[in-house]
Structure 1
């Protein structure tokens, strides 16, 4: 290694090269020779695309069996309605009981489907939201409506005083696959849900 005295006699070009070099190249945040693999930072747009794909796959996995159940119940109900009119009283009672049970199951499934669709829609809104930080996997965040835009924050609605122009929408968590898991949705948001679909507050 050159001494300080030797370095004082270096040419300006050599000093410039020295500043741009290091004794520990393995610590550089970029490739330091021709054989190095390129280090390309992940853009936010690519993260959004990955999150969108993951959310769509999650919704499809959840909705597919529900749609299958709905189809099965619909066929079962049609068969019960086609029972001959001359069946016994006991058969009529059993058929009516089955129809009532099917209606309850259909209502339950429809509520599940609506819940999944709402969570998917909220997740879509998060991708449009503005925030001034890099989201971390496993961290909980809070989605708000401020004026005509969505804002993602680290602070919950109970931790600060909301002004008249700010509406709490949902509590969400960033998962390892870059998808957003909706933990809670504001009760008030049901009144504004159609507005969320249109991209604005009613």
Structure 2
């Protein structure tokens, strides 16, 4: 047994580097490989992809950041709209607002919000903002 192992090791040592020998099947399988295996074959080199990766990582990071900034701005605008709507719907008013009409939000002496049709120029109330009720029943700020 010991002699067989030594003979096999000697055979392995005798094979040159360019010989493709499969230890499992105990056969030569150079013809089965998808790449050239003889000495005259071109050298297989891996391309340097570090520069390509770094450039594209930078581009992807910029695109992701730009998209994130867009979404953040959209989210902030939506949250502002939500806060205004929450403020108006929690305010006091004794009428049913009509879609498309302009209303003014004020604070009373107890700092409680109330909605009115009276313009800020016609009264001395603590003015907050002017709004219009749209068809979706959401309040929009009216820039004057």
Are 2:47 and 1:89 aligned? Answer: no
Distance 2:76 2:61 in 1: 22
Where structure 2 has 5 or more consecutive residues not aligned to the other structure, the ranges are 1-47
Q: Deviations over 1:66-98 (max 9, x none)?
A: xxxxxxxxxxxxxxxxxxxx7321331121122
Equivalent position to 1:172, from 116, 123, 131: 131
DSSP-derived class of the 1:106 partner: helix
Partners of 1:138 and 1:184 lie apart in 2 by: 11
Q: For residues 7-42 of structure 1, what are the alpha-carbon distances to aligned partners after superposition, in whole Å with 9 as ceiling and x for unaligned?
A: xxxxxxxxxxxxxxxxxxxxxxxxxxxxxxxxxxxx
Residues 171, 183 of structure 1: 8 Å contact kept: yes
Asked which structure has the greater RCO (Cα within 8 Å, sep 6+), the reply is 1
SS of residue in 2 equivalent to 1:171: strand
Root-mean-square deviation (Å): 2.6
**Deviation, structure 1 residue 143:** 1.8
- C-alpha distance in 2 between matches for 1:94 and 1:160: 60
Could you state the TM-score of these two structures normalised by the residue count of structure 2?
A: 0.53
Whether the 8 Å CA contact 2:104–2:127 is kept in 1: the answer is: no
Residue 62 of structure 2 is aligned to residue 100 of structure 1:
yes
Structure 1 unaligned spans of 5+: 1-85, 186-202
Between structure 1 and structure 2, the one with the greater Rg is 2
TM-score (norm 1): 0.40
Determine which structure has the larger helix proportion and give its number: 1
Q: Is the 8 A contact 1:172 1:180 kept in 2?
A: no
Deviations 1:80-118 (A, max 9, x none): xxxxxx732133112112202211210220121121122
Query: Is 1:137–1:174's contact at 8 Å kept on the other side of the alignment?
Result: yes
Distance of 2:65 and 2:77 partners within structure 1? 18
Count of residue pairs brought into register by the alignment: 95
Alpha carbons 2:102, 2:131 under 8 Å: kept: yes
